[in-house]
Chains A and B, each alone.
Chain A
């Protein structure tokens, strides 16, 4: 039997994919929380935001009723401050550093407050930014993800005319095609992209993949500078027997479908095994469950302390009823009639000593275990677009683009940032790379007059 779709009634899908963190409904409630903020000096929350949003200031502005000023404070540091308010793993960023944690009190709901201001700005299309008159400089950007969009916005403000080439039909990158559907809706992603573009001076050529008909060299020739923000590609292969069986799917592809199709069209297994314990793995597991899978098991070859997702994310998976198998390294996928039926894992243990990279070595115990599953989702990291990078002769490390100060690459006038450089972090990190690159590009443009 192929994997089944249409497992749930429409209202069940709706409930399962409703907003994970509902917003403040009233100014009153936002005001109460805003007034709890201490307005710290050289605030730890700001220092823990990769884009350095002036958190105490924007919160203070909410408390004075200056919501527009608050939105401006946020967006000037992070043009995707609206989306970040919904998708950032705040417990390891701003909120994790809030001084209230040191009093063993709930940290300030920074993201929720950030959402309060930014959502209004985006919805009501407040005019916050004015771009300088066009200065005749033209920059090409590859990829309309967070890195590319942030770079484009910062450049456009300074009067640069920006053209973005995007292989998909919509902007936003993994914000639109990757992040869990219960965090951001497709409509929000579109509104956010429109909001960024509303400053003017930015055109996006959709459905245009660079590296096929048009190459990076073409862009280098036709534009004053180029920014590469292509992100990373499909999920890493496991390199174990049985990976070709039906029912073995790529997490990124699976999630892409969730984000682009009707939930009822997405097939999902009865018993799903997800391999990996990063954010992508969690999203694949929770969304499988929310699509109607009966059982979801997450399989990881390390223990809970070494997981790469946050505690809060793990908690979501737990609440969704996923179960966990720690210290199990996938060995083989078994199947019948070309369809996956089970995942066999080596039971492993971790060495007492950490190696040079700070991780403990994985040691076999000689024992194995078999997990019955009709769907196996690969979510153990993503592969960089090595072909593109090699083909364009950009210096790289296994496909990850190498950069130095202000996101410069080895190629003159070519800058890069986001997942394609850091190997896959968060939206907020990609935005900061985009901002830094814009700075680098502006310096480059003015020194090459």
Chain B
């Protein structure tokens, strides 16, 4: 069995799975049960000036019966007294000294408030701090959360304040509600942050009740924009994560990856794209702490299969595979191939290719089963048919290069090569 032990910013945990700062980490009885279940660490629910939450706080996407494909919330930071939180943090750390205890913070945007909060929390005891620059609702209107994280200058200033007094490692949690996370990351790095956590939730409006015309979640007749998370946001999180790994300035800064992690596969993907560990919120809110078992067992089996003995060995391995579009090889060409023995004649590949523009699949009428085959000369190799086919490995993409050499767009233009004729 591969060893899942993980270290991020010198903070050690028995596995790379932390619970993200959110309801599952907002009190002792939760965190104790999480640690009993086997979670490697937690980022305690964001502390700051105590707030008051509304009732009716969540809404979710039910996509083709996959409930909570995406989750939205309009919750604020911890609504429990700071003292109680601090006391409980101490007690948990005592019971589980081997687990990572990071505390998420959000103070009013002035030096004194941040100094106060940082000192109180670190004096109380923790392995690290996470700065919540991400919360996209409620706190923003008070000049905190994403309001800080969307402006490089403010973000830099706040991190500077924090670093003036911080004695434990500091992770800056980035908001995805920006065109690119790189400028904020760079600014906070200059200010001295030790690492990043990303992403926080994405601004969203979940939908509207068609009978009452009320958008979700209905808070007594009105709603507010909320933060979106869960499986639906994973690709966006991965892109933002990778963009930090691709930028020279931020490439070597440790990152805790967040956003839609639900299975060990998701976690491995985050880590291959540069996350040192991952944090999980929605998946636990849906299924409970027990999912940690498969997260660990799946990752460990995968590591054994691939010959990795430590999680640090595969962090970032996939980043070099991402490049600018301009660099892609125009001589690389693939065509779809249908395995007729596996085909169940659903016609989904056909109609997708037909109506999505390429008309590269032929239909031979049969009763009741039609036969579908690829017109290789028409196939552009877009992958769509393979993506829609309900049978795995039924459609495969075969490589049929257009030329031996790597040919990027610049070269293509320089050589004056012809564009499509029809």
Q: Tell which of A35, A97, A100, A102 touches B64, judged by Cβ atoms closer than 8 Å.
A: A35
Within 8 Å CB of B348, what residues of A?
38-41
Considering only CB atoms and an 8 Å cut-off, how many residues of chain B contact the other chain?
A: 16
Q: Which of A43-51, A149-157, A166-174, A289-297 contacts B (4 or more CB under 8 A)?
A: A43-51
**A288 interface hit (Cβ, 8 Å):** no
In Å, the complex CA distance between A355 and B64 comes to 52
In Å, the complex CA distance between A213 and B252 comes to 99
Closest Cβ–Cβ distance, residue A56 to chain B (whole Å):
10
In Å, the complex CA distance between A47 and B370 comes to 11
Q: Which of B9-17, B339-347, B404-412 contacts A (4 or more CB under 8 A)?
A: B339-347
Within 8 Å CB of B221, what residues of A?
none
Q: Tell which of B65, B363, B369 touches A44, judged by Cβ atoms closer than 8 Å.
A: B369
User: Is the Cβ of B65 less than 8 Å from the Cβ of A99?
Assistant: no
Q: Tell which of A31, A42, A63, A100 touches B347, judged by Cβ atoms closer than 8 Å.
A: A42
Within 8 Å CB of A47, what residues of B?
367-368
User: Is the Cβ of A42 less than 8 Å from the Cβ of B370?
Assistant: yes
**B390 interface hit (Cβ, 8 Å):** yes
**B39 interface hit (Cβ, 8 Å):** no
User: Is the Cβ of B344 less than 8 Å from the Cβ of A35?
Assistant: no
Within 8 Å CB of A103, what residues of B?
344, 391
In Å, the complex CA distance between A47 and B347 comes to 13
Within 8 Å CB of A312, what residues of B?
none
Within 8 Å CB of B391, what residues of A?
103
**B351 interface hit (Cβ, 8 Å):** yes
Interface residues on A, range: 10 to 19
Q: How many A-B residue pairs have CB under 8 A?
A: 40
User: Is the Cβ of B368 less than 8 Å from the Cβ of A38?
Assistant: no
Most buried by A among B350, B368, B390: B368
Within 8 Å CB of A97, what residues of B?
368-369
Within 8 Å CB of A43, what residues of B?
346-347
Within 8 Å CB of A102, what residues of B?
344-345
Answer whether A48 and B346 are a contact pair too, CB < 8 Å, given A35-B64, A42-B363, A63-B64: no
Q: Per-residue 0/1 for B360-402: is the Cβ within 8 Å of any A Cβ (1 yes, 0 no)?
A: 0001000111100000000000000000001100000000000
In Å, the complex CA distance between A32 and B64 comes to 8
Closest Cβ–Cβ distance, residue B293 to chain A (whole Å):
26
User: Is the Cβ of B64 less than 8 Å from the Cβ of A99?
Assistant: no
In Å, the complex CA distance between A60 and B65 comes to 13
In Å, the complex CA distance between A47 and B369 comes to 9
Which residue from chain B places its CB closest to the CB of A96 in the assembled complex? B368
User: Is the Cβ of A41 less than 8 Å from the Cβ of B65?
Assistant: no
Q: Per-residue 0/1 for A38-74: is the Cβ within 8 Å of any B Cβ (1 yes, 0 no)?
A: 1111111101100000000000000100000000000
User: Is the Cβ of A99 less than 8 Å from the Cβ of B370?
Assistant: no
Within 8 Å CB of A99, what residues of B?
344-346
Within 8 Å CB of B367, what residues of A?
47
Within 8 Å CB of A48, what residues of B?
368
In Å, the complex CA distance between A63 and B65 comes to 9
User: Is the Cβ of B346 less than 8 Å from the Cβ of A31?
Assistant: no
Within 8 Å CB of B65, what residues of A?
31-32, 35
Q: Per-residue 0/1 for B113-140: is the Cβ within 8 Å of any A Cβ (1 yes, 0 no)?
A: 0000000000000000000000000000
Residues of B26-74 contacting chain A, CB below 8 A: 64-65
In Å, the complex CA distance between A63 and B62 comes to 11
Within 8 Å CB of A45, what residues of B?
368
Closest Cβ–Cβ distance, residue A276 to chain B (whole Å):
29
Which residue from chain B places its CB closest to the CB of A97 in the assembled complex? B368
Closest Cβ–Cβ distance, residue A46 to chain B (whole Å):
8
User: Is the Cβ of A41 less than 8 Å from the Cβ of B351?
Assistant: yes
Which residue from chain B places its CB closest to the CB of A28 in the assembled complex? B65
In Å, the complex CA distance between A190 and B372 comes to 45
Q: Per-residue 0/1 for A7-33: is the Cβ within 8 Å of any B Cβ (1 yes, 0 no)?
A: 000000000000000000000000110
User: Is the Cβ of B368 less than 8 Å from the Cβ of A40?
Assistant: no
In Å, the complex CA distance between A35 and B66 comes to 10
Answer whether A44 and B345 are a contact pair too, CB < 8 Å, given A38-B390, A97-B368, A103-B391: yes
Answer whether A40 and B64 are a contact pair too, CB < 8 Å, given A47-B367, A47-B368, A48-B368: no
Within 8 Å CB of B369, what residues of A?
44, 97
Which residue from chain A places its CB closest to the CB of B65 in the assembled complex? A35
Answer whether A41 and B347 are a contact pair too, CB < 8 Å, given A47-B368, A97-B368: yes
User: Is the Cβ of A41 less than 8 Å from the Cβ of B346?
Assistant: yes
Which residue from chain B places its CB closest to the CB of A33 in the assembled complex? B65
In Å, the complex CA distance between A45 and B346 comes to 10
In Å, the complex CA distance between A39 and B352 comes to 12
Within 8 Å CB of B350, what residues of A?
41
Closest Cβ–Cβ distance, residue B374 to chain A (whole Å):
16
Q: Per-residue 0/1 for A362-389: is the Cβ within 8 Å of any B Cβ (1 yes, 0 no)?
A: 0000000000000000000000000000
Within 8 Å CB of A31, what residues of B?
65
Closest Cβ–Cβ distance, residue B7 to chain A (whole Å):
43
Within 8 Å CB of A38, what residues of B?
346, 348, 390
In Å, the complex CA distance between A47 and B367 comes to 7
Residues of A184-238 contacting chain B, CB below 8 A: none
Within 8 Å CB of A40, what residues of B?
345-348
Closest Cβ–Cβ distance, residue B119 to chain A (whole Å):
52
Closest Cβ–Cβ distance, residue B418 to chain A (whole Å):
34
Closest Cβ–Cβ distance, residue A51 to chain B (whole Å):
15
Q: Per-residue 0/1 for B97-112: is the Cβ within 8 Å of any A Cβ (1 yes, 0 no)?
A: 0000000000000000
Within 8 Å CB of B345, what residues of A?
40, 44, 99, 102
Residues of A79-104 contacting chain B, CB below 8 A: 97, 99-100, 102-103
In Å, the complex CA distance between A31 and B64 comes to 8
In Å, the complex CA distance between A47 and B65 comes to 27
Within 8 Å CB of B346, what residues of A?
38, 40-41, 43, 99
Most buried by B among A35, A40, A41, A97: A41
Closest Cβ–Cβ distance, residue A24 to chain B (whole Å):
14
Residues of B312-344 contacting chain A, CB below 8 A: 344
In Å, the complex CA distance between A39 and B367 comes to 18
Which residue from chain B places its CB closest to the CB of A43 in the assembled complex? B347
In Å, the complex CA distance between A31 and B67 comes to 12
Which residue from chain A places its CB closest to the CB of B354 in the assembled complex? A41
Q: Per-residue 0/1 for A96-127: is the Cβ within 8 Å of any B Cβ (1 yes, 0 no)?
A: 01011011000000000000000000000000
In Å, the complex CA distance between A281 and B346 comes to 36
In Å, the complex CA distance between A90 and B347 comes to 22
In Å, the complex CA distance between A35 and B64 comes to 6
Closest Cβ–Cβ distance, residue A211 to chain B (whole Å):
39
Which residue from chain B places its CB closest to the CB of A44 in the assembled complex? B368
A41-B348, A99-B346, A102-B344 known; 7 new pairs, CB 8 Å cut-off, are A35-B65, A40-B347, A43-B346, A47-B368, A48-B368, A97-B368, A103-B391
Task: Report B's interface with A, CB cutoff 8 A.
Answer: 64-65, 344-348, 350-351, 363, 367-370, 390-391
6 A-B contact pairs sorted by A residue (CB < 8 Å): A38-B348, A42-B363, A44-B345, A44-B369, A47-B367, A97-B368
Which 5 residue pairs of A and B lie closest in terms of their CB atoms, listed nearest first? A41-B347, A44-B368, A41-B351, A102-B344, A47-B368
